[in-house]
Amino acid sequence: MKPVASTPCAIADAAEALERGQLVAFPTETVYGLGADAENPKAVANIYAAKGRPSNHPVIVHVAPGADISYWAKDIPAEAHQLIAAFWPGPLTLILKRADHIPDAVSGGQDTVGIRCPSHPVAQELLRAFKGGKGGVAAPSANKFGHVSPTMAAHVEEEFEQEIQPGGLIASILDGGQSDVGIESTIVDLSRLATHGPVLLRPGHITVAQMAAVLGVTPAAPDAAAPRASGTLDAHYAPHTPVILVEAAELDDTVNRLHTKNKKLALMSYQAHPAIQAEAWRHLPADPAGYAHDLYAGLRELDHANADLILVEALPQDKDWQGVNDRLRRAAFDSRDVLQGMLG
């Protein structure tokens, strides 16, 4: 199966496939999602099967603009409505208390549910077509669990070679071009306001400062008792090639030392380093939004470079870079000792 252009006919077919309990990959402004009917536990289980995702790792329910979130959640605080008015449709997920009739398959067995309304026009058309706009589509990123998220339809096709064969779990891939944002949504927990206030579970395009301006309080860092949320495991978003974060001041020396060990290197940077030689090099924009837009496509490109390592120039640590720093830290988590091992 090849990705299909997101024509009205293709979107209608995809909505019908969702109602039959099949999976559909579709674009959002953040990354491509792998969707199923959020009220069909068997269909949601097929997402987990296709991705190889642990069953206790929750997914996010995507709803159409203007959807009644009281169908999905209970005890909805005023702060949720404030954030919805400010940022929906858009890349912000709210964690709320799950309504009693919503299957716990979408929440990894927790009493909470993650909800967002995407801004991508294809996602909105699909959500309006599905159950007349009153359904919800459970959709984590359309990639194997822990791998680099897809920001183009071709990435989804690459990830799921078996699942898109005739009779496979995935019925269609809707092509909506490259995702505008490029990293997953910001996730904020509003399910424990009385005791913890709003809590940032995953940074993203919507920043802490933007939410604080709406709420009048800065979301806190996650605590040990916070609900589990998508994309928050220590190791995540990783290509097959080990990713190593290197400070800019140490990059030249690190490359030279690795070359003496005959290592093949791929490099991702946002600054110029004219003295460095690498087998493959991806230069990303020097602003947070531009970097996020290109990050996953860049990692996928360098993952095909047959390198021993992907060296990534460490980014500024200010709050504007929090989202991409979070993704790179998790992508590099399992590779922390690889560099020292190669250098001896």
Question: What pLDDT, on a 0 to 100 scale, did the predictor assign at position 55?
Answer: 87
Question: What's the residue count for the chain?
Answer: 344
Strand 60-62 relative to strand 186-189: parallel, antiparallel, unpaired? unpaired
Helix axes 8-19, 121-129, angle to 10 degrees: 50
Count of C-beta atoms within a 10 Å radius of residue 247: 9
Q: pLDDT-derived band of residue 334, with 50, 70 and 90 as boundaries?
A: confident
Question: What pLDDT, on a 0 to 100 scale, did the predictor assign at position 167?
Answer: 87
Question: What pLDDT, on a 0 to 100 scale, did the predictor assign at position 40?
Answer: 97
Question: What pLDDT, on a 0 to 100 scale, did the predictor assign at position 210?
Answer: 97
- pLDDT tens for 139-170 read 999 999 999 999 999 999 999 988 999 889 99
Question: What pLDDT, on a 0 to 100 scale, did the predictor assign at position 81?
Answer: 98
Question: What pLDDT, on a 0 to 100 scale, did the predictor assign at position 344?
Answer: 73
As a whole number of angstroms, the distance between CA 327 and CA 163 comes to 26
E strand or H helix at 257:
helix 248-260
- pLDDT tens for 100-115 read 999 999 999 999 999 9
- Taking 80 as the threshold, does the pLDDT of residue 336 lie above it? no
Helix axes 208-215, 78-87, angle to 10 degrees: 120
Q: pLDDT-derived band of residue 296, with 50, 70 and 90 as boundaries?
A: very high
Average per-residue pLDDT in the chain? 95
| Assigned token pair, 67 | 């959807």
Question: What pLDDT, on a 0 to 100 scale, did the predictor assign at position 267?
Answer: 97
Contact 127, 133 (CB under 8 A): yes
Question: What pLDDT, on a 0 to 100 scale, did the predictor assign at position 300?
Answer: 97
Question: What pLDDT, on a 0 to 100 scale, did the predictor assign at position 311?
Answer: 97
- Taking 90 as the threshold, does the pLDDT of residue 340 lie above it? no
As a whole number of angstroms, the distance between CA 88 and CA 25 comes to 21
Give φ, ψ of 185 to 5 degrees.
-65, 155
Question: What pLDDT, on a 0 to 100 scale, did the predictor assign at position 29?
Answer: 98
- pLDDT tens for 192-202 read 999 999 999 99
Question: What pLDDT, on a 0 to 100 scale, did the predictor assign at position 128?
Answer: 98
Q: pLDDT-derived band of residue 43, with 50, 70 and 90 as boundaries?
A: very high
Question: What pLDDT, on a 0 to 100 scale, did the predictor assign at position 275?
Answer: 85
Find all residues with CB under 8 Å of 242, minimum gap 6, and list them. Answer: 308, 309, 310, 332, 334, 335, 338
Strand 4-5 relative to strand 243-246: parallel, antiparallel, unpaired? unpaired
Question: What pLDDT, on a 0 to 100 scale, did the predictor assign at position 12?
Answer: 98
Diameter of the chain by CA atoms?
Answer: 62
Task: State percent of the chain over pLDDT 90.
Answer: 91
Question: What pLDDT, on a 0 to 100 scale, did the predictor assign at position 342?
Answer: 85
Cα dihedral: 274, 322, 301, 341 (round 10): 70
Task: State percent of the chain over pLDDT 70.
Answer: 100
Residue 333 is classified by DSSP as G
Contact 229, 58 (CB under 8 A): yes
In this structure, of 32-36, 188-192, 211-215, 273-277, the range with the lowest mean pLDDT score is 273-277
